[in-house]
Every structure is written in structure tokens, then in C-alpha cells.
Amino acid sequence: MVYKRFSIGISLRIILIVVSIFLGIWLHYVQELWLAPGILLLVTGFLTGEMIYYVNSINHKLARFLDSIRFMDFSSSFTSDSKMGGSFREVNMAFNEVMEVFKQTRAEKEEQMLFLQVIVQHINTGIISFNTEGKIGIINNAAKHLLQIPQFRDIKDLGKLSPKLLREVVEMKPGQRISFKVNANLHLIVQSAALKMGGKSWTLLSLQNINAELQSNELEAWQNLTKVLRHEIMNSITPISSLVDSLRTILDEDSYVQQEGFLIKKDGFKDIQEGLDTIANRSRGLVTFVNAYRDYTNIPEPKKELVQVRNLFENVTGLMREELKSNQIDIQTELLPEETEVLCDADQISMILINLIKNACESVQNQADRSIILRGICQGDMGTMIQVEDHGAGIIPEALEWIFVPFYTTKKTGSGIGLAISRQIMNLHRGSLQAISIPGEKTVFTMNFK
């Protein structure tokens, strides 16, 4: 309706201007009048100016409306000009309604931002954002409390707490998660995310102090280890102590004093021999157990380098060639893609692979399918995955959750330390070692490298 009225107004003004011009020409040339054409000329000029004002008025209002939106100034209001009449009343009402909607939207956005700021400042997880130049955007109270860095305005200020932590944080990839021990009271889990805001790239860090949880888990681990140590040591010491008492009794009952020394009965002598052999065997078992514990607690820091997974597989299968051949076990390798690489300590990862392959060999010994699959898969930003798969007897669900516990074993001759050491090596690589098993179908051990 507004546009229809606007068109009618413009058309009427053009018609009046044209009529005035032709009437003035007719009066001047036909009637030879001078005054009337002069008056009509003034009327034509007035009508032209009025039409220009009529057209420009809506353009000025539209420009003011757009400027208000551009500069986020929603306090403006639009009223009808008395000179314009009521033809643009609907336009002014529409402008005011739109401004009111923008005003409400901005108010709701500000409320949401305030709500989010309150949440960010009150959560227990530390939050820090910084741009490509290192400038800090957001830092909440939890992060300030954790880091205790005065005037934290640039991510480089993190170096005041720990230069190594700063280096690792700057080198983090989006979605990566690291664990870093700053001091005895601060052990951080840092997770990174990437986002774009205002045309700039930002990195968002979340920080959590897991020191209390680690201390609790460490205490529980020591308690469990103490139980294992007590059980193993008592299993060795108790029979030794009992045997010593028995040997003393045999010496008292089956020995006789003679002038040249002691005389022991033949049966008593055999009993003493057997007892000493038993003590020696139990002592050797205890020494073996202590050595296994020493191996578990003295794994060196890995020396990482970029290694072709194909080379890892070839080296391990080469070392185990005779053992695999004697047990008639076939090793198959799968690489996706063929050039898959992994950043690792090749010697330590080879130890894990040898241990997993030996376990797989034992699992498939009595199976028709005696094949083991070594698989390497590159997952892009998600890292690299190495798997050892067999189709042997498998692991029962009750045992699956315990197989990585030190000294736990389902084998009669096993030490229960191999898988525990393997998982610890993967933890030192900041990766993980996991197992899934369907008894009688397949078992898959997966090493994840990030």
C-alpha cells in the first residue's frame, strides 16, 4: 500500500509539472502573455523541488535506518513528517518495528553473553583463549587460581610458570590432550580446541588440576601393589620358614654326637637335601619376582623418532622368524596407507609387538587358524593405530579388565608383567594400549599413537 501511494504521489507531481510547462508555453506563444507563464514557471519550480524533497525524504530515512543498524544504535525512532502527509506512516511504523526487533535481539544476545561469562567464570575448569599473536582473550577465575601468574595478558607469560609447558601448549594441535606435571601440587590436564572469531583464529585451552585424583589413585595403586607384594613374598617366605623349622627338628632327632663330629641318619640326610632344594627353588622364584618388579619400575623415557610401521613389522617378524616357523604360525601385515608412519621409540614399541605376538602365538596354538594379523592404520589428525589380531581362544570378560594389572596372569608360567610394562611404555608415548576379545572368535590389542 505504501509503495502504491508513493507511485501515485510521484505520478501526480509529474503530471502537474508537465501540465504547468505546456500551459505556460501555450499562454506565452499563443496568447502572448508574460505574467501567467512566469507564475506557472515558479509553480513548476516549486513542484519540482517538492517532488525532489518528497523522494529524498524516504532515502534519508532509509540511510539513517541502515546507519543505525551498522553502528548498532537502536535508540533511533522514526516519525512522520507533517509536510509529507500520511503516505509514509506505514514506512515509519515498519522502521520502528524493525528497530524494536533489533533492540530486543541485542538485549537477548547481551543477556546470553553475560550468562555465558558468569558460567565461564564460575566453573571449576580453567579456560584460556588466545589468538595467533598470543594475545589472551578470555581467562577465567579457575585458570588464574591454577596458574597464579600476575598480569597474564599474553600466552608467552605461561613461560613464567614453566617454559616447557609453554612450548607444549604452543605446539598442541586442535583436539589434542596433554598431561603435564608443573610441581608437587599442580598436575595439569590441558585440552586444546580451535575456533574463528572476528575473522581471527583463536585457540581455546581447558585446564584441570588432577593432582588430588592422581594422589588418590596413586595411594590405591600402592595399596594394591602392597597386597601383591605381600602375597608373593608370603608365598615364598612362609614355606621357607616352615622348612627351616622342619630341618632343625630333623637335625635334632636324626643326628648324633660323635668324637669326630655329628652323624646323621640316611633318611634324615635326604630330608635335609630335599628341604634345601625347596628353599633354593623358592628363593629363586622370589628373586625372579623382584627382578620383574624392578623391570616394571625402571622403564626409560622413550627416544622418539619418525618410523615406518612397515619397518617395525619387518624387524619384529625377522627376530621371531624361527619361533613362528616352528609353531607353524603365519604372520599377515596390513598397512593403510602403505607409507604409514609413527613417532615412537622403535626399540620399546618392538618390545610391545614381540610380547603381543608371543601371547597371540600361545592363543592360537590349538586352533586350526594359526594366523596373526599385524595392522597399521593412519587416522589423520586422530593419530596412528597399530593392531595385533588373532583368532585363538581369546580372553574371558572377567580376566579382560585385569590383564594390564602388574603381576596378574592366567598362565601357569607367566610373570604377569608383560602387558603391564607394554601399557606403561604406551603411557610414556602419551598413547594407549587397549584390548577387546570375543572368546573363541578373535582378540585384538590396539596401540593408539596421538
pLDDT for position 342? 93
Ranges under pLDDT 70 in the chain: 1-10, 32, 54-62, 64-92, 94-95, 218-219, 221-236, 238-240, 251, 254-266, 282, 285-286, 288-298, 407-416
* Neighbour tally for 33: CB within 10 Å: 15
Instruction: Report which DSSP code applies to 434.
Output: E
Structure-derived torsion over alpha carbons of residues 45, 49, 50, 51, reported in degrees to the nearest 10: 100
Q: Which residues pair with 4 in a beta bridge?
A: none
Domain with CATH 1.10.287 in the chain: 214-297
pTM here is 0.45
pLDDT of residue 2: 44
Count Cβ atoms below 10 Å from residue 365 Cβ, excluding itself: 13
pLDDT of residue 341: 92
pLDDT tens for each residue of 120-178:
788 888 889 999 888 988 888 888 888 888 888 899 998 888 899 999 988 888 888 88
Residue 92 has a pLDDT of 67
- Between the alpha carbon of residue 101 and those of residues 69, 91, 95, 107, 108, the distances in Å are 11, 15, 10, 10, 11
Grid cell locating 71: 553502528
pLDDT at 95: 67
Between CA 258 and CA 271 the distance in angstroms is 21
Which residues make up the CATH 3.30.450.20 domain(s) of the chain?
123-209
Which residues are paired to 178 by β-bridges? 190
pLDDT digits (tens, 9 = 90+) for 50-102: 777 766 666 666 676 666 666 666 666 666 554 444 555 666 676 677 777 77
Report the alpha-carbon distance of residue 89 to residue 92 in Å, rounded: 5
Burial of 225 (0-12, 13-18, 19+ CB in 10 A): middle
Task: Delimit the CATH 3.30.565.10 region(s) of the chain.
Answer: 305-449
**What is the Cα–Cα distance from 309 to 302, expressed in whole angstroms?**
17
Name the fold adopted by 305-449.
Heat Shock Protein 90 (3.30.565)
Burial class (CB in 10 A: 0-12, 13-18, 19+), 247: middle
Provide φ and ψ at 353, rounded to 5°.
-60, -45
Q: For domain 123-209, give the fold.
A: Beta-Lactamase (3.30.450)
In 71-172, alpha helices (H) = 89-122, 141-147, 163-170
Site of grid cell 500500500 = 1
Looking at residue 187, its pLDDT comes to 87
Query: Distance between CA 89 and CA 79 in Å, rounded?
Result: 8
At the topology level, CATH places domain 214-297 in Helix Hairpins (1.10.287)
pLDDT of residue 373: 93
pLDDT reported for residue 71:
63
